Amino acid sequence: MVRFVTIDKHALESGYTQHAIRAKIRDKVWREGEVWVKAPDGRILIDAEGYDAWAASGLTKRAAASVKTGTAKSPRALSAKSRKALIAA
């Protein structure tokens, strides 16, 4: 797997449209140096590791919210990463 990919390739792999990706960059939903970088030739490249971390952060937030609201089924239903995040909170 290649760590840095073009917006076009990331759109094919992630399911986000190119427009949605550019909007996330423009609106600073995805931070430069974390989810995307500018290559020496000026092209924007998406960092697969940064994108995975960003996507996983949504899982952690939803898991924590479901525990606080009482909608969580069981701690066993949460991923190991989400359980660790809840314990640390």
Tell whether the torsion through CA atoms of 25, 60, 77 and 67 is positive or negative.
Answer: negative
Tell whether the torsion through CA atoms of 6, 10, 13 and 18 is positive or negative.
Answer: negative
Whole-structure pTM value? 0.67
Instruction: Report residue 80 as tokens.
Output: 């190991």
Q: What is the pLDDT of residues 12-40, one digit of tens each?
A: 999 999 999 999 999 999 999 999 999 99
Confidence bin at 51 (pLDDT 50/70/90): very high
d(CA 50, CA 78): 22
